[in-house]
Amino acid sequence: MTADATWNEAAVRERARAFLAANDPAAMDRLDFLRARFDAGLAWVHFPEGLGGLGAPRELQAAVESELRGTPDNRPGRIGIGLGMAAPTILAFGTDEQKRRFLRPLWTGEEVWCQLFSEPGAGSDLASLATRAVRDGDEWVVDGQKVWTSVAHTARWAIMVARTDPDVPKHRGLTYFVCDMRAPGVEVRPLRQITGEAEFNEVFLTGVRLPDSLRLGAIGDGWRVAQATLMNERVAIGAASGRRTMIDVVCETWRSRPELRTHDLHQRLLRLWVEAEVLRLTGARLREQLAAGRPGPEGSGLKLSFARLHQELSGLEVELLGEDGLAYDDWTFRRPETVDFVGREAGYRYLRAKGNSIEGGTSEILRNVIAERVLGLPSEPRADKDIPWKEVPR
C-alpha cells in the first residue's frame, strides 16, 4: 500500500479542522461523531479512502490527533485486538465486502474483537492446532477448543484459525476465518488469573456454522494470514504506548520515596530508562514498517524486550516501595474489558507483568523466530514438518 505523497501535515490539519467545523462533538452523539470521523478519512489516515483513511503517510496521524484532541475517542484500550490485529489483517487479506462490513464498526468500538488462535495443545506450536472446520456446502462447521482468549466475553467477532485439511503437513492445512461469537455452539468460560481477574477465557466451539463469506484468505492459506496477524500483534504489544508508561510510573515512585534510594537502585533505574527509550524509538520505526505494509519478524524482538522490561520495572518498583510494594489485596473476581496496567497499584503490576512473557508469543518461541528469521541461524530440527498432520503422534 503506497502512501499518497500529495498529503502533507498542513493538508491533513486543514482536513481535520474542516471536519470539526462541520461536526461539533459537543452537539453530536459520541458514536455519530466517531462514524463521521471514520467517513472523513480521519480514523487511520494511512488506510485507503473509503475505509477510514486518506491513503496518506502514517506519521500524519499525529497531526490528526493533535487537531482532534479533547474530542470523543474510540476507547482504544477496549478494542486493542481489533485495532492492532484484526484491522490490518482484514485490510491485507479481506474482500472488498469484508473491509466495508467490518472496519468501520471495529474502529468506532461498536464491535469488539478477540483472537481464537491458541489451544490447550497448540500454544507455542500454533500450527499443530486441532480445531476442525469441515465444509458443508456454503458453510463451514467448526468444532474445537481455544484458550487464553482475551475479552472473548465481550467480543462480537473473532479472528480464528482452524484446520481444514488434516491430510497435509500442519502448516499447509489451515484456513483463517472470522468467527461470529454469537453463533450457536460458541461457549465462553472465564479463566481466573493470579491477580484474581479473568480477562482471559477459554472458548468451546461445538458445531458452529460459519458462512464461507467469513473466510479470510484462500482455503489452506491460513498460516500465511496468521503470520501477518502475529507480526502485527507483536509490534502492537511491544510498541504499546500511552500518555503514561511503566518507566514514568517507576520514576514517579523514585522521586516520591527518597528514603529508599540506594546507588544500586539508581543505576538499575538509569539502565532501564535507557532501555525504555530504545524500545520507544524501535517501536516507532517498526510502526512505519507496518504502515508500509511490511510487518516483519523484527516485531518479535520488540515484544521480547517489552516483556523483559516490564517485568524488571515492576520488580524494581516493588523494591523501591519496600513493604508497601508487597500490598495487594484486591482479589475480587472481575471480567474486565481492558487491562489498566499503569493505573493500578504496584502489587497488581508486579503480578500482571508475569503474563507479558507468555501472551502474544512466549519469549522462548520469539527467541527462535529472531534466531532463524532475523539472524539467519539454522533452524531447529522439526520431525513433524513434512508429514501429514493426522499422522503426527499426540
* Contact assessment for residue 26 and residue 77, using Cβ atoms and an 8 Å cutoff: no
Residue 218 zone, left/alpha/beta (φ > 0; ψ -120 to 50; rest): beta
pLDDT of residue 296: 64
Cα separation, 73 vs 42, whole angstroms: 12
- The set of cell numbers assigned to 121 is 495443545
pLDDT higher than threshold 60 for residue 239 = no
* Contact assessment for residue 74 and residue 108, using Cβ atoms and an 8 Å cutoff: yes
pLDDT higher than threshold 80 for residue 284 = no
* Contact assessment for residue 108 and residue 95, using Cβ atoms and an 8 Å cutoff: no
Reported confidence tier of residue 4, pLDDT bands at 50, 70, 90: low
Instruction: Please give the single-letter amino acid code of residue 190.
Output: P
Question: How many distinct structural domains can be found in the chain?
Answer: 2
Q: Which of 21-25, 40-44, 239-243, 363-367 has the lowest mean pLDDT?
A: 239-243
Domain boundary among 45, 73, 101: 73
Cα separation, 43 vs 110, whole angstroms: 14
Angle at which helices 298-321 and 263-291 pack, to 10 degrees? 150
Range of the domain at 39: 8-73
C-alpha distances in Å from residue 160, one per residue of 98, 130, 227 = 15, 12, 12
- 139 given a catalytic annotation: no
pLDDT of residue 370: 85
Q: Reduce the secondary structure of the chain to three states and give it as a string.
A: CCCCCCCCHHHHHHHHHHHHHHCCCCCCCHHHHHHHHHHCCCCCCCCCECCCECCCCHHHHHHHHHHCCCCCCCCCCCCHHHHHHHHHHHHHHCCHHHHHHHHHHHHHCCCCEEEECCECCECCCHHHCCCEEEEECCEEEEEEEECCCCCCCCCCEEEEEEECCCCCEHHHCEEEEEEECCCCCEEEEEECCCCCCCCEEEEEEEEEEEEHHHECCCCCCHHHHHHHHHHHHHHHHHCCCCCCCHHHHHHHHHHHCHHHCCHHHHHHHHHHHHHHHHHHHHHHHHHHHHHCCCCCCHHHHHHHHHHHHHHHHHHHHHHHHHHHHHCCCCCCCCCCCCCCCCCCCHHHHHHHHHHHHCCCCCHHHHHHHHHHHHCCCCCCCCCCCCCEHHHCCC
Kindly state whether residue 175 falls inside one of the protein's structural domains.
no
Q: Which of 165-179, 224-238, 370-384 has the lowest mean pLDDT?
A: 224-238
Kindly state whether residue 258 falls inside one of the protein's structural domains.
yes
Kindly state whether residue 114 falls inside one of the protein's structural domains.
no
Please, what sign has the CA dihedral across residues 377, 381, 386, 391?
A: negative
Q: Which residue in the list 111, 119, 233, 317 is annotated as catalytic?
A: 233
Kindly state whether residue 117 falls inside one of the protein's structural domains.
no
pTM of structure: 0.86
Q: Which of 59-73, 102-116, 177-191, 316-330 has the lowest mean pLDDT?
A: 316-330
* Contact assessment for residue 117 and residue 141, using Cβ atoms and an 8 Å cutoff: no
Cα separation, 321 vs 200, whole angstroms: 29
Domain boundary among 73, 92, 117: 73
Cα separation, 279 vs 316, whole angstroms: 18
**87-140 tens-digit pLDDT:** 999 999 999 999 999 999 999 999 999 999 999 989 878 999 999 999 999 999
pLDDT of residue 178: 98
Q: Which of 8-22, 86-100, 186-200, 374-388 has the lowest mean pLDDT?
A: 374-388
pLDDT higher than threshold 90 for residue 177 = yes
**251-283 tens-digit pLDDT:** 999 998 888 788 899 999 999 999 999 988 887
Query: 83 or 284, which is more confident?
Result: 83
pLDDT of residue 295: 58
pLDDT of residue 342: 77
Cα separation, 213 vs 51, whole angstroms: 19
pLDDT of residue 74: 96
* Contact assessment for residue 38 and residue 48, using Cβ atoms and an 8 Å cutoff: no
Cα separation, 142 vs 183, whole angstroms: 11
What mean pLDDT is predicted for residues 354-360? 85
Reported confidence tier of residue 288, pLDDT bands at 50, 70, 90: low
pLDDT of residue 235: 61
Average pLDDT taken over every residue of the chain: 90
Kindly state whether residue 346 falls inside one of the protein's structural domains.
yes
Cα separation, 213 vs 210, whole angstroms: 8
Residue where the block lists cell 527518597: 258
Name the percent of the chain lying above pLDDT 70.
Answer: 93
* Contact assessment for residue 237 and residue 308, using Cβ atoms and an 8 Å cutoff: no
CATH code for the domain of 303: 1.20.140.10
pLDDT of residue 293: 55
pLDDT higher than threshold 90 for residue 317 = yes
Name the percent of the chain lying above pLDDT 90.
Answer: 63
Kindly state whether residue 235 falls inside one of the protein's structural domains.
yes
The distance between the two most distant Cα atoms of the chain, rounded to a whole number of Å, is: 71
pLDDT of residue 100: 97
Question: How many CB atoms within 10 Å of residue 21?
Answer: 8
pLDDT of residue 41: 98
pLDDT higher than threshold 70 for residue 234 = no
Smallest CA-to-CA distance from 88 within 210, 5, 150, 1 is with: 1
- The set of cell numbers assigned to 83 is 485495532
Kindly state whether residue 164 falls inside one of the protein's structural domains.
no
